[in-house]
Amino acid sequence: MVDKVLLRSKFRGTLLGSLIGDCCGAPFEGQLMDSGSKLVLKKNLDTLEGPFFKAPYKKFTDDTAMTRCVANTLLDPNGFSQKLLAKNFVKEYYKDPKRGYGAAVVDVFAKLRMSKLSDPLGPAQAQFGGTGSYGNGAAMRVAPMALFCVKHEKNQLVELVQQSSSVTHTHILGINGAILQALAIKQCLLLDPRENLNKKVFLSSLKKDIKELEQVNDPDLDDNCNAYEKQLNAIEQLLDGKIDPSDENVLNMLGHNVQALYSVPTAVFCFLKCTAETLEDTDQNSFRNTLEYAISLGGDTDTIASMACAISGAYFGSTVISENLIRHCEDSEGIIKLADQLLEL
């Protein structure tokens, strides 16, 4: 276990990484990221990291809004419950609905509100003909769960993430994507960034955990059987050079859309690709490179960058993140406060 000073930095880095990826990725969502767009992105990030200038905040989206709800539910004096989480989601949405929420989750919130939360899981379970959503909405907000369970056993984290996910996402691929993201963050929280990162060991641990999970929960899904294990194998092939890690190959193999299966592994890959295995590169460059690369892939840029930077922030801690970049993101002070409160738990 890392010492508490470093752990505080890692808690802050996790939630700030999630916020920064969301805020910086949102303006590029859905764009075709050609060479011109990538140059605009680079200059944009250079400006935000440069001398501070007074300007409107980079606003966060539903990713951060729902992440804050998860954190506040965990911090509630009465403890976490699915009903309280559902209540917090509904209150947050109707207080500020223009945050880029998807139509499917808005439908869930409307039904929860209409029923006065009598069945916190019912609306999500009824979606898409009863199959539930396999989107990345549960994964994008899961970071506080990993922080809360940093000293807990793996099965406790898995169970808590399953409960949290099921309020909006009940498809096994949506839930397992959230679990994979939480496991990646937790593993990073327990690693010392002053030592070399062994990417093979990191991936091997994730593959072991996700294989166990898919064998238990996913025996009869045919085409989706071992879906995340296959994606992690693809990451390994891209990292070790067996397959050229060009943007085209990354997108064809890992994806960049709103499905958890085609975005959570992409976020894990972004972190691993941009983080040096030795200490030759600076930590700050690794975090910034993760942010820029995740957005440069296009597609669901805010969510993929948010997840990738949450993992990177959990590994390096907040000290590697540009202070000016942090100041340009909406509610960064509130996010830091939430991280500190979760640490004190």
Tell me the C-alpha distance between 107 and 30, whole Å: 22
The CA distances from residue 176 to 55, 135, 182, 250, 275, in Å, are 39, 11, 10, 21, 24
Lowest mean pLDDT: which of 30-34, 124-128, 338-342? 30-34
pTM for this one? 0.96
What is residue 242's DSSP assignment?
Answer: S
Tell me the C-alpha distance between 32 and 221, whole Å: 33
| Helix H or strand E encompassing 313 | helix 301-316
Let me know: does 126 contact 166? Beta carbons within 8 Å.
Answer: no
For the cut 80, the answer to whether the pLDDT of residue 223 exceeds it is no
- The DSSP line for 110-173 is HHHHHTTTSSTTHHHHHHHHHT---BSTTTTT-HHHHHHTTTS-HHHHHHHHHHHHTTT--SHH
pLDDT confidence of residue 170: 97
- The DSSP line for 193-229 is TTS---HHHHHHHHHHHHHHHHHHH-TT-GGGTTHHH
Which residues, other chains included, contact 298 with Cβ-Cβ below 8 Å and sequence gap of 6+? 28, 30, 31, 32, 33, 37, 251, 256
Phi, psi of 58 (to 5 degrees): -75, 115
pLDDT in tens, 270-324: 999 999 876 655 566 899 999 999 999 999 999 999 999 999 999 999 999 999 9
Domain that holds residue 148: 4-344
- The DSSP line for 51-105 is S------B---HHHHHHHHHHHHHT-TT---HHHHHHHHHHHHHH--TTT--HHH
For the cut 60, the answer to whether the pLDDT of residue 218 exceeds it is no
Closest to 87 measured CA to CA, from 55, 109, 105: 109
pLDDT confidence of residue 277: 73
Tally of domains in the chain: 1
- Pair of tokens at residue 181: 């993201």
- Pair of tokens at residue 202: 């990191």
pLDDT band of residue 61 (cuts 50, 70, 90) is: very high
Domain containing residue 148: CATH number: 1.10.4080.10
